[in-house]
């Protein structure tokens, strides 16, 4: 558990790593987890493996109103022990303006984005909305700020499950809440100009305007990746459907799921796993094409425009479907294929067979790249920054393999992954952990070594995990 926790802690720090650390502007840096709990034993290197001596990372604080960078935050971490003697992460931060002038010197504090001259200051369990020029604190308990439309912001508390506090204007004036009505105060987040609030006590979800007027309620309300435009999914018992604040309920089914909706077309799915059947239908429920074991839009999960085409599995073949239900492209037969997942434009993973499933890789025209059988799952390597992806050539994949007899839950006790490029070429195999991925570089642990590797599978720099053991 000690090693696992150490690696988990390092992974957390990677989310904060960006420019800074004494490097030239624009230079991509990599933090390599190293040592036993002591994060200061990690080392930061450039793409050539040269160690960077400074131990802070620098990140941007974006103004939620303008989406432009307003401040810079420098952060450094250490490990202390809590009152029970367990290792605990300690984080120190300093706040700078865009010219690099220090506005707040190092303190045991975290900073989060807000709006205008406001930021969030938090040091668990305390958080506040903080006005940088005057040092004024307000709204005790504020851990996060989320943008609503029309210059309003939802303030929430809580580290992992944000509960709503209230709504403020761009000048920091309270508009509603503080406190929130009890039925809405368990969990909430912003969506467009609305608030989606969840009540555990009432087993219900509510759609609210910024004045906390209730517009719609259901057992569950959310916005999954398949919704295009200003639509929300909802569930009420056996009924699943799509709701639009301006139109009301626009589409619903009983005993099935709505996986996609764009105002004209919907994907309706019955069942799960090997029993799933999906169909492309119109808003009026007229079937355009059906009988798919898997069907989804061939588009990015965060796209807002209607999909031009869809990708699915029909009779053990991967297929493209246009909006009229035509099949312009079909793969060769893929034995036992049941599902397909779009990894990136022109790159797909398909799976099927008994649990655990077997996964293979398909190219832009659904041509076979890697046959299912060797890997249980294929996905994009973790921590691959979206702004560094311009094409499939910029992507590394993790292809998982299981070892040992299956346990009672159907899982292999040992999991390792091969790292593949977009052509299916194995860059390196037997990887235990991936910590960061950048252009032609990947930080990973393989065997007893951890370090920086290029995309040819050659170590740029590495160390043995045993070379810096610390005493308890």
Query: pLDDT tens digits, residue range 332-353?
Result: 999 999 999 999 999 999 998 6
178 or 4: which leads in pLDDT: 178
Average pLDDT over residues 249-258: 96
Q: Which of 20-29, 227-236, 442-451 shows the lowest per-residue confidence on average (mean pLDDT)?
A: 20-29
> What is the pTM (predicted TM-score) of this model?
0.84
Average pLDDT over residues 154-159: 90
Average pLDDT over residues 393-422: 83
* pLDDT at residue 21 greater than cutoff 90: no
56 or 59: which leads in pLDDT: 59
Beta bridge partner(s), residue 402: 415
* pLDDT at residue 188 greater than cutoff 80: yes
Q: Which of 6-10, 130-134, 190-194, 366-370 shows the lowest per-residue confidence on average (mean pLDDT)?
A: 6-10
Q: Domains in the chain and their CATH numbers?
A: 142-222 (2.40.10)
* pLDDT at residue 155 greater than cutoff 50: yes
Mean confidence (pLDDT) of the chain = 87
Average pLDDT over residues 240-244: 97
* pLDDT at residue 267 greater than cutoff 90: yes
Average pLDDT over residues 412-416: 77
Q: Which of 2-16, 309-323, 445-459 shows the lowest per-residue confidence on average (mean pLDDT)?
A: 2-16
pLDDT tens sequence across 362-403: 999 999 999 988 898 999 987 677 777 888 899 999 999 877
pLDDT number for residue 54 = 64
Confidence at 468, pLDDT banded by 50, 70, 90: low
Confidence at 467, pLDDT banded by 50, 70, 90: low
Average pLDDT over residues 35-39: 48
Instruction: Give the pair of three-digit tokens for residue 419.
Output: 């790292």
Q: Yes or no: say if 266 and 260 are a contact pair by the CB < 8 Å rule.
A: yes
* pLDDT at residue 30 greater than cutoff 60: yes
Average pLDDT over residues 71-89: 77
Average pLDDT over residues 294-312: 93
* pLDDT at residue 2 greater than cutoff 80: no
Output the CA torsion 226→229→234→238 (10° steps): -60
* pLDDT at residue 412 greater than cutoff 70: no
pLDDT number for residue 19 = 36
pLDDT number for residue 410 = 65
Average pLDDT over residues 65-75: 95
Instruction: Give the pair of three-digit tokens for residue 249.
Output: 């309920």
pLDDT tens sequence across 440-460: 999 999 999 999 999 999 999
Average pLDDT over residues 124-153: 94
Give CA separation, 335 vs 4, 302, 329, 352, in Å: 37, 31, 18, 8
pLDDT number for residue 415 = 81
* pLDDT at residue 39 greater than cutoff 50: no
Q: Which of 146-155, 233-242, 396-405, 408-417 shows the lowest per-residue confidence on average (mean pLDDT)?
A: 408-417
Output the CA torsion 87→91→92→98 (10° steps): 160
* pLDDT at residue 250 greater than cutoff 80: yes
Give which of 243, 139, 142 is closest to 192, Cα–Cα. Answer: 243
Residue with tokens 């969840």: 198
* pLDDT at residue 301 greater than cutoff 50: yes
pLDDT number for residue 358 = 87
* pLDDT at residue 4 greater than cutoff 60: no
* pLDDT at residue 356 greater than cutoff 90: no
CA distance 393 to 372: 22
Confidence at 82, pLDDT banded by 50, 70, 90: low
User: In sequence order, which residues have a C-beta less than 8 Å from that of residue 67 and are 6 or more positions away?
Assistant: none
Average pLDDT over residues 252-266: 96
């Amino acid at each position: 558990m000690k090693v696992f926790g150490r690696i988990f802690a390092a992974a957390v720090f990677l989310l904060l790593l960006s420019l800074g650390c004494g490097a030239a502007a624009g230079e991509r840096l990599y933090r390599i987890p190293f040592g036993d709990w002591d994060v200061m034993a990690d080392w930061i290197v450039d793409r050539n493996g040269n160690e960077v001596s400074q131990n802070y990372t620098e990140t941007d604080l974006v103004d939620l109103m303008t989406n432009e960078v307003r401040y810079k935050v420098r952060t450094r971490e250490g490990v202390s022990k809590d009152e029970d003697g367990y290792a605990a992460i300690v984080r120190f931060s300093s706040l700078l303006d865009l010219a690099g002038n220090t506005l707040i010197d190092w303190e045991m504090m975290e900073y989060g984005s807000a709006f205008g001259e406001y930021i969030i200051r938090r040091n668990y369990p305390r958080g506040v909305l903080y006005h940088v020029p005057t040092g004024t604190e307000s709204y005790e308990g504020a851990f996060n700020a989320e943008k609503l439309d029309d210059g309003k912001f939802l303030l929430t508390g809580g580290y992992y499950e944000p509960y709503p506090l209230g709504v403020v204007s761009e000048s920091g004036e309270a508009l509603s809440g503080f406190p929130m009505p009890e039925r809405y105060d368990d969990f909430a987040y912003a969506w467009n100009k609305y608030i989606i609030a969840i009540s555990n006590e009432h087993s219900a979800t509510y759609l609210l305007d910024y004045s906390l007027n209730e517009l719609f309620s259901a057992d569950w309300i959310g916005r999954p990746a398949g919704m295009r435009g200003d639509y929300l999914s909802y569930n009420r018992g056996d009924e699943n459907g799509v709701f639009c604040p301006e139109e009301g309920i626009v589409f619903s089914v009983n005993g099935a799921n709505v996986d996609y909706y764009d105002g004209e077309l919907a994907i309706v799915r019955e069942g799960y796993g090997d029993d799933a059947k999906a169909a492309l239908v119109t808003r009026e429920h007229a079937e355009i094409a059906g009988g798919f074991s898997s069907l989804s839009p061939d588009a990015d999960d965060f796209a807002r425009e209607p999909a031009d085409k869809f990708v699915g599995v029909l009779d053990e073949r991967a297929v493209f479907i246009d909006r009229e239900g035509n099949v312009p492209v079909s793969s060769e037969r893929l034995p036992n294929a049941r599902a397909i997942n779009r990894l990136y434009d022109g790159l797909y993973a398909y799976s099927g067979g008994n649990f655990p499933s077997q996964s293979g890789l398909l190219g832009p025209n659904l041509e076979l790249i890697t046959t299912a059988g060797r890997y249980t799952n294929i996905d994009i390597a973790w921590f691959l920054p979206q702004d560094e992806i311009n094409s499939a050539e910029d992507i590394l994949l993790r292809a998982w393999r299981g070892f040992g007899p299956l346990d009672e839950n159907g899982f292999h006790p040992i999991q390792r992954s091969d790292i593949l490029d977009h052509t299916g070429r194995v860059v390196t195999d037997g990887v235990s952990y991936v910590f960061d991925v950048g252009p032609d570089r990947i930080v990973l642990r393989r065997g007893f070594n951890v370090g920086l590797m290029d995309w040819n599978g050659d170590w740029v720099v590495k160390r043995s995990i045993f070379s810096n053991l610390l005493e308890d």
